[in-house]
Structures are given as C-alpha cells and as structure tokens.
C-alpha cells in the first residue's frame, strides 16, 4: 500500500492541493478531449500520472502515438495533486500500481474492481460474481475462476491495461547491519524487531535508520489507512492474530497467537492467545509499559470496528474485513474438544495445543485471569459470513492490528455522524505525534515499537518494553528512525553515504550502483506489485466505448517495458498475476488496434 509510482500501493487517501476544476487543467491545443478525432483521424487520449512515473508515461505515450492516438500527458508533481486530478476525472488513463500486501488473490481484486470496493472505478455484475466465487474456493479450485475474472477485466471489457510485475529490492548497509537479520518478504512490510547491528553494543544507543517516501501520515489508527505512508509503521506498531512468512504462508510466529486452527466447514477460525504482550504508551519521549495486557477483549473490539464501515469517520479498510460475521471469546473448553479441524479428524484443541509447554486446562473470558504458565488461556473465535479461507490473510494485514479497547474509547468520544475534522481529534491522528503545539501523544501500541514523535523530516520510534520480553521476538534495536525521502535517487544517495542503513525500494535501473558498492548488499525477491493503466469509467469516451478501451489495450507492448528496465520486470495480466498462474498474457497487436478504432468510429 510511495511517491515513486513503481512501488506505490494504490493509495486510498485524497489530498487536495489548491482548487481543482472539473475540466482538465493541463494545457492542450484547445480541442475537446472527448472528441473522436483531432481533424486528422487521431483519437485524443489523456494519460494522468506523477513525475516519479515519467519513464513509464513516456513509453505509454510513444506506444499510443505509434498506433495512431493523439496523446496528452497530465503529469502531476506529487500524489496529492495526482489524486486531486484523478478525483476530478481529468484523465482517460491513470498510471496506477497495486501491491497485494496480504499475499492472497482476493485482496488483489476486491477493493480495486468490485462495485462497492474502496478504490474501485468498475461496476460490473459479472466481475462481482467472479470475485465472490473465487473468495469461497481453496487455492486448488480458484485458478479457473481467477482466469475467467481476468478475462472479463482485461480481455472482454478492458477496464485496465497491464504493464508489468515488479521485483522487490532493498539495499542494506552491511558494514552496519547484519544482513542475515534483515528480512525481505514478498508481501508484508518489513519487520524491524528482527534487525540487528553487526556490533551488538550499538543496540541501546544507536538508532536503526531507514526511510520511506511519504511523510504525511494518513493515520496511526490501523483501520483508517492502507497506503505507503503508514503500512510499514502500523505493521510494526500493532500486533496481529497471525502473520505472513516471507513466502506468504500464514503463521503464528511473531503474532498474538500461539496457534490457530480452521474448523470443519471453513467458517470458524480459532486463535490461542499469548499472555506476554502489554500495550506501550509514550511519556517524555520514552516508551512506557502500561501494564495493560493485550487480550481477547481487545481483539474482539479491534475486529468489530475493522469490519464496521461506520465505526470511524473515513474508514478505509472495512472492505478487507467485511467477511467477518462475528468475533467472540470462547469460554467453553468442551467446544474446542469436540470441534473438528477442517479436513481432519483431529480436534481444534489438539491443533491449538501443538508445541505448548503447558496444555490448556481452562479457557478464561478476562485477560486479567489469563496465566499461560498455569494452563489458563484466552481463545478467540472468528466466524465468517460464509466459507472464506482467505480471511486468515486479511487478519495478517496491518488493518487487523490490535488496538487497546480502553484507550481508543477514551479518545474517540466524538459522534461519527457529525465528525468535524477541524475540531475532533481521533485516535491515531498524526497531529498528536507531530512536533509543535498540537503534540499530545495518545498512542497505545501492541506491537514491538511505538511512534514517539515526528516532524517534516523523520519519525522516531522506540521499542515496546512490554513486548515479548526475553524472547526471540524481543526487538534487538531500541530505537528506529524513519527518514522521509521522497526521491528514490536521494534515498539511494543517503544509503551509499551511510546516512541511512536500509533502503526498501531500490529502483530497477539502479541495482548496479548498490551491487558495486563495497559497503552495500542488494537483497532481491519476487513481489506482488503490479503496475497498470486504469481507465476512467465515468464521463469520458473511454468510459462508454469498449472498442476504444480495447484499442488502447492492444497498443501496449510489455516487452518494451521489460527492455527499458533491463529485464528487472516481469509480464503481468492483472493484479492477480504474481499470485495465480492463470496462463493469460497480453500481446500487442496493431491490427487489432485498427480494428477496434474502426469500430469505435462507427459507433
């Protein structure tokens, strides 16, 4: 979920910069952008993007011009102005990118293409039907369904035009950090707690210095944002019921649960909770162990608000959790003893007890009564509206981070329906952690780190003193500084000069600079990031004409993108491509372009 468009998740925020008119503000030759031709038979196409994606925009422009279009580039300097132009409808095509940070294909399509998706411009009953059908299927079953979905999205209706699938790369200062402790996961944001210095004596006083492009934070409330400004930060501030491995497997490692189990029928999911994590707060720029345990009550509260679009104003992640029917605390041990696991004769109790030093003797409803050393545990059951195995991936997402029921209720005393953004200060508002008169840090972190304060240049975090103390998941480094560096070249320069220790998002065209530096190591892996062109589906000629959209679609030659990026990209057909091998592939075809343009002119 960065200003460098190649690594941007498709952000859900809207930052208005100045007055945005309803017609394009980009200079043109004065002709109507909706006209079918410019007098020479060329169809006008306006392509919206950011300066950070100028290379891609230029390639798209050249390919469209080659196929007979009259192309106008609407290049905005930053994401705020890009979003404003997009919201105003000043585009035919918008250069977009999406990273499936949950590791499951439902996330790759639901918010983007379902009619009621949080960031969808598509309204198509067949698309909706196929998304819902695939979500109920297992990985062995859903390949055929996602293939049909892709064909509807791309082949049949041309709602998007895919460009490429990116790799994931980061540069590590190996003279400072132990590279073996720095993870590079396919989907999830980087986990800070595992990272360590080569010199362990630096842990307490020297901060780990990393970076991100965006310094304007959407919200430190995990359900109120899903973008590059907060995904990594909230991932490290709030523990979840489960996590993803670097290869996108759902596990309990580093989470609030010892174990989890799916019951027969694939609608009930059980989680056995740990009792060794407390919430942290901030006082005098230091992290304080509040003594308040992170428990089942907080899980129920957090997931109830996550699934309820009206629980907070400007809820931006509810669509990820709308499949949750209920979350409850299990108080009857017999339920665990008699309920079978999905596809097995073993019980839920057997699955939850696997590897425990002390077996369950009692399940308790209050976190203050939990004492794992005596066999007293809390168990949470999540029930979905229908069989939905992919719910586990959503529970690993930062938006499912566990917040303090007590603290959030203390802060969020406003009325949601009449919320006033200028007067009401909700939990997680960045104003409360920003240096200056508005500073009033109210955060309660359940994860390994907590944000102390930020300014325009950086955000400072300290380790949670109540998080898994003495375990392998106790954070190694006490302090983390996140520098806000919006330009990839500047970030790379800071890495090479030793100003930062870790740069996640090294551009494909700059890999060689990292590989040649004696003090740096380039880490590289596959990713779920896909860059594509999104068609405007309202108020433009491309909105009404499938023929016009298909003419644009078959103008796109993905080989030219792969060549430009020196082979450091892969072909894609949709946002599902990195996750499911459907066999679909886009091939540029100028004869089809002519055919569809001819049909468009005859409409």
Alpha carbons 33 and 265: distance in angstroms, whole number: 53
Alpha carbons 230 and 233: distance in angstroms, whole number: 5
Q: What's the mean pLDDT in 24-39?
A: 45
Q: pLDDT at residue 12 above 50?
A: no
Q: What's the mean pLDDT in 313-335?
A: 94
From residue 564, give the alpha-carbon distance in Å to each of 531, 542, 559: 15, 28, 9
Q: pLDDT at residue 454 above 70?
A: yes
Q: pLDDT at residue 14 above 80?
A: no
The reply to whether 175-206+214-480 shares the fold of 5-167+527-601 is: yes
Q: What's the mean pLDDT in 472-500?
A: 96
So what's the pLDDT on residue 7?
A: 38
Alpha helices (H) in 315-411, listed in sequence order:
333-338, 348-353, 391-395, 405-411
| CB 124, CB 115: distance < 8 Å | yes
Distance of CA 344 to the CA centre of its chain: 33
Distance of CA 471 to the CA centre of its chain: 28
Q: What's the mean pLDDT in 515-529?
A: 95
So what's the pLDDT on residue 6?
A: 34
Structural domain spans, the chain: 5-167+527-601, 175-206+214-480
pTM over 0.85: no
Alpha carbons 394 and 102: distance in angstroms, whole number: 6
Topology (CATH) of 5-167+527-601: D-Maltodextrin-Binding Protein; domain 2 (3.40.190)
For the chain, give the percent of residues with pLDDT over 70: 93
Q: What is the mean pLDDT of the chain?
A: 92
Q: With bands split at pLDDT 50, 70 and 90, how would you rate the model's confidence at 25?
A: very low
Q: What's the mean pLDDT in 12-33?
A: 39
Alpha helices (H) in 466-553, listed in sequence order:
488-496, 511-516, 541-544, 546-553
Alpha carbons 137 and 102: distance in angstroms, whole number: 17
Q: pLDDT at residue 403 above 90?
A: yes
- 103-122 pLDDT, tens per residue? 999 999 998 999 988 778 89
Nearest CA-CA partner of 313 in 427, 446, 439 = 427
Q: pLDDT at residue 344 above 50?
A: yes
User: Residue with structure tokens 């390919």?
Assistant: 63
Task: State the burial class of residue 356 (Cβ atoms within 10 Å of its Cβ: 0-12, 13-18, 19+).
Answer: middle
Q: With bands split at pLDDT 50, 70 and 90, how would you rate the model's confidence at 8?
A: very low
Task: State the burial class of residue 336 (Cβ atoms within 10 Å of its Cβ: 0-12, 13-18, 19+).
Answer: buried
Neighbours of 5 (CB within 10 A): 21
Helices (H) and strands (E) in the chain, counts: 17, 21
Percent of the chain that is helix, strand, coil (3-state, to 5): 30, 25, 45
- Written in H, E and C, the secondary structure of 226-273 is CCCCCHHHHHHHCCCCCEECCCCCEECCCCCEEEEEEECCCCEEEEEE
Alpha carbons 262 and 267: distance in angstroms, whole number: 8
User: Residue with structure tokens 């003797």?
Assistant: 361
Tokens (6 digits) for 409: 């209720």
Start-to-end CA distance of the chain, whole Å, equals 39
Q: pLDDT at residue 518 above 60?
A: yes
Q: What's the mean pLDDT in 447-475?
A: 97
Lowest mean pLDDT among 13-27, 75-89, 268-282: 13-27
* Most trustworthy range by pLDDT among 14-18, 25-29, 119-123: 119-123
For 175-206+214-480, give the CATH class.
alpha beta
Strand runs (DSSP E) across 348-438, as ranges? 362-363, 376-377, 379-384
Q: How many alpha carbons lie under 13 Å from residue 185 in its C-beta half-sphere?
A: 22
Distance of CA 137 to the CA centre of its chain: 23
Tokens (6 digits) for 402: 């566990």
Lowest mean pLDDT among 28-42, 60-74, 393-407: 28-42
Alpha-carbon torsion angle 514, 517, 523, 528, nearest 10: 0
So what's the pLDDT on residue 118?
A: 74
Alpha helices (H) in 13-141, listed in sequence order:
54-66, 79-87, 110-113, 125-135
Containing 296, the helix (H) or strand (E) segment is helix 296-307
So what's the pLDDT on residue 36?
A: 64
Residue 171 β-bridge partners: 503, 522
Alpha carbons 230 and 266: distance in angstroms, whole number: 32
Tokens (6 digits) for 530: 């896909």
- 551-602 pLDDT, tens per residue? 999 999 999 999 999 898 999 999 999 999 999 999 999 999 999 999 999 9
């Amino acid at each position: 979920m960065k200003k460098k468009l190649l690594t941007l998740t498709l952000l859900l925020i809207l930052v208005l910069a100045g007055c945005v008119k309803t017609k394009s503000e980009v200079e043109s030759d004065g002709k109507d952008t909706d006209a079918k031709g410019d007098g020479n038979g060329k169809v006008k196409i306006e392509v919206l993007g950011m300066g950070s994606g100028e290379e891609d925009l230029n390639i798209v422009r050249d390919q469209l011009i080659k196929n007979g279009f009259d192309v106008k580039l609407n290049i905005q300097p930053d994401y705020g102005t890009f979003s404003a132009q997009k919201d105003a409808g000043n585009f035919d095509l918008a250069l977009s990118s999406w990273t499936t940070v949950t590791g499951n294909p439902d996330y790759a399509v639901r918010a983007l293409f379902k009619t009621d998706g949080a960031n969808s411009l598509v309204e198509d009953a067949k698309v909706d039907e196929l998304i819902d059908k695939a979500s109920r299927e297992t990985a062995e079953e859903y390949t055929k369904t996602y293939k049909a979905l892709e064909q509807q999205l791309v082949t049949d209706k041309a709602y998007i035009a895919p460009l490429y699938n990116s790799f994931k790369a980061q540069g590590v200062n190996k003279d400072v950090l132990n590279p073996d402790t720095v993870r590079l996961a396919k989907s999830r944001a980087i986990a800070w707690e595992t990272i360590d210095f080569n010199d362990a004596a630096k842990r307490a006083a020297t901060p780990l210095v990393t970076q991100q492009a965006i310094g304007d934070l959407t919200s430190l409330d995990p359900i109120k944002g899903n973008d590059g400004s907060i995904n990594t930060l909230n991932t490290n501030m709030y523990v979840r019921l489960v996590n993803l491995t670097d290869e996108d497997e759902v596990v309990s490692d580093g989470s609030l649960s010892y174990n989890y189990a799916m019951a027969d029928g694939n609608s009930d999911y059980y989680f056995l909770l740990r009792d060794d994590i407390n919430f942290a707060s901030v006082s005098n720029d230091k992290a304080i162990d509040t003594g308040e345990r992170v428990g089942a009550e907080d899980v129920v509260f957090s997931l109830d608000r996550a699934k309820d679009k009206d629980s907070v104003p400007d809820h931006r992640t509810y669509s990820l959790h709308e499949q949750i029917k209920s979350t409850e605390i299990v108080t009857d041990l017999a339920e665990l003893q008699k309920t079978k696991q999905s596809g097995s004769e073993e019980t839920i109790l057997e699955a939850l007890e696997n590897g425990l030093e002390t077996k369950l003797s009692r399940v308790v409803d209050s976190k203050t009564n939990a004492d794992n050393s005596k066999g007293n545990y809390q168990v949470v059951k999540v029930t979905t509206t229908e069989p939905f195995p992919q719910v586990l991936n959503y529970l690993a997402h930062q938006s499912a981070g566990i917040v303090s029921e007590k603290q959030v209720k203390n802060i969020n005393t406003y009325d949601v329906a009449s919320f006033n953004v200028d007067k009401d200060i909700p939990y997680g508002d960045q104003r409360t952690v920003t240096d200056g008169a508005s500073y009033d840090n109210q955060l309660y972190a359940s994860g390994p780190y907590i944000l102390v304060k930020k300014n325009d240049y950086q955000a400072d975090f300290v380790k949670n003193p109540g998080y898994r103390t003495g375990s392998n998941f106790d954070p190694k480094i006490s302090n983390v500084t996140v520098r806000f560096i919006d330009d990839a070249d500047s970030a790379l320069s800071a890495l090479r000069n030793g100003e930062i220790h870790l740069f996640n998002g090294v551009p494909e065209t700059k890999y060689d600079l990292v590989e040649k530096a004696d003090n740096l190591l380039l880490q590289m892996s596959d990713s779920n990031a896909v860059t594509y062109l999104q068609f405007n589906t309202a108020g433009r000629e491309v909105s009404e004409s499938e023929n016009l959209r298909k003419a644009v679609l078959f103008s796109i030659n993905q080989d030219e993108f792969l060549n430009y990026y020196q082979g450091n990209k892969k072909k894609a057909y949709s946002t599902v491509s990195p996750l499911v091998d459907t066999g679909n592939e886009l091939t540029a075809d100028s004869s089809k372009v002519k055919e569809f343009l001819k049909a468009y002119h005859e409409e």
